[in-house]
Amino acid sequence: MSSLTDTARRWVADDPDGATRAELERVIAAAESGDEEAAADLADRFAGTLEFGTAGLRGKVGAGSNRMNRAVVIRAAAGVARYLSDSVGQSVVAIGYDGRHGSIDFATDTAAVMVAAGHRALLMPRMLPTPVLAYATRALNADAGIMVTASHNPPQDNGYKVYLGGRAVTDSGQGAQIVPPYDAEIASRIAAVPSVLEVPRADSGWETIPDSLVDDYVRTAASAAGPDPDGRRANTRIVITSLHGVGSECMQRALREAGFTDIHEVAEQAVPDPDFPTVAFPNPEEKGAIDLSLELARRVGADVVIANDPDADRCAVATVIDGEWRMLHGDVTGSLLGELIARHRARLRMAPGSQVFANSIVSSRQLKAIAERHGHSHVNTLTGFKWLSRVPGLVFGYEEALGYCVDPSSVRDKDGISAGTLMATFVADLKAEGRTLADAVDDLARDYGVYLTHQVSVRYSDLAEIPATMARLLANPPASLANAPVTATDDMNEGFAGLLPTSGLHLATSSGARVIIRPSGTEPKVKAYLEVIKPVEGDDIAAARAAATEEMALLEADVRAALGV
């Protein structure tokens, strides 16, 4: 305990924030008095240093090296500033922030560090979505973009994303989130910062990005919808929610710019609130997160629900299927958008050869079938938009976790605003034909067969069990799944030349089913991604879905058994 409290007191002495100094001093005093809970808390706060990687920083807000706080952020900003100075010299840095605890302070500290280091710092005029910062990085030709957000993490978290562009990255990844080796190069410079109090910070000198850039982003997001010559969009009733995040303003404006006027917002979730009081977990994928949206949709007779996560880079879509409001799986929305974009490009007579569609390795194989049918190329990438958004020639990319990039020339990241606007346009077009999104899902089944995806997650309290589980599966994979022989067993690290941050296993069966098992990169979990494909005989979509559901149940049971749960 003496060594731990000494470490904590050194942290207090180097912390520029009076609030976190006082917080840590209280924890130290309680731990020294024999409070076991405080002692455990103190140990966790200094159980290491919050690591900077390809996701930047992300963790609980609080005092200590293993937390998000001003001291950690100032160190990170100093590391990014030094990297920019070393690699391209005096740089332009765009900085954004959302509504989470500490976000504006972390953003302002970053601007102060950048200015003191000789860089030009451009700070967003207010809390805004992550896609706006990604847009600004390209629109302003910034050498770096920094977004303070924890996206859809729990309320106690915050984070720090870094994009590189301008002169720092000049290939197809210009304006995208960092990947190796940039993360390691920045991390080494963060580690070299001797003291937070020694990091120079300017009192002023950063610039405020004008509202005109936000206006430009909104117009660009709305342009994904194209023109509305017959005014059909005014007849489409939309329910939206930002889940207490910062997406409301831009989502409302983009929809109205595109011609939608009948918009109903979940009032209880419209104003940014870092405590997210109406949801257990601020992620549209989580059970109950969009219940208020669905309730409002029933009440007003909506045509579609569009839900953004707190920083609005993700987009969930709900519609009526078989008489019930349901949220579409991320793979279904990705396939709908992929088909829509592929058909639109065919109508414009765009040469298919240079058009690339991409999704992550754990997402459905249906997008590949869509791309091939329309004469386009398709690429599978590692999980994460830092990989998807830098695919050369990309016209559409998605990952099953509700992330969609429908305009990579403007935003090289997932963008829930432009994706939501495009999906609303699709609903308006279908409604004008007397059809719905449910009909469009049926169309996909007729054209490509039924693609059913599902995920199994196993949480571990003992982190050592995760590599042990993967090692066991890699050494002794199942010989059959869902009563079908396993015909392919691949170590995914080999397929991606060691780029995977964790081990992964790919299994394929003679029936066409696929399973990918890999540890989560952000949680103490092993995740399995399951997919079943069934052809539609004649027009009997219901029979194909029933067969797929039956096989999926068997597949899930076998995967759970293989994982030992």
Cite the active site residues.
151
Cβ atoms within 10 A of the Cβ of 90, count? 11
Q: What angle do CA 271, 276, 282 make, to 5 degrees?
A: 110
Number of H helices, E strands in the chain: 18, 22
**CB proximity list for 58: less than 8 A, separation 6 or greater:** 50, 68, 150, 153, 157, 158, 159, 160, 522
Whole-angstrom Cα distance, residue 415 to residue 312? 7
Extract the tokens encoding 260.
Answer: 């939608």
Q: What single-letter DSSP state applies at residue 233?
A: G
Cβ atoms within 10 A of the Cβ of 471, count? 11
- Closest to 247 in 3D by CA, of 312, 322, 157: 312
Whether the upstream peptide bond of residue 181 has omega within 30° of 0, thus cis, is yes
From the number of C-beta atoms within 10 Å of its C-beta (0-12, 13-18, 19+), residue 170 rates as exposed
Measured N-to-C along each axis, helices 330-347 and 437-448 cross at an angle, to the nearest 10 degrees, of 80
Extract the tokens encoding 393.
Answer: 């020639």
Whole-angstrom Cα distance, residue 442 to residue 54? 38
What is the CB-side half-sphere exposure of residue 245 using CA atoms within 13 A?
A: 37
β-pair type (356-360, 377-381): parallel
Whole-angstrom Cα distance, residue 513 to residue 533? 6
Extract the tokens encoding 198.
Answer: 């020694």
Measured in degrees and rounded to the nearest 5, phi and psi for residue 41 equal -65, -45
**CB proximity list for 384: less than 8 A, separation 6 or greater:** 54, 55, 177, 360, 399, 521
* Helix runs in 140-281, H state only: 182-191, 211-223, 248-257
Q: Where are the beta strands (DSSP E) in 182-336?
A: 207-208, 238-241, 263-265, 304-308, 315-321, 324-327
Whole-angstrom Cα distance, residue 136 to residue 144? 10
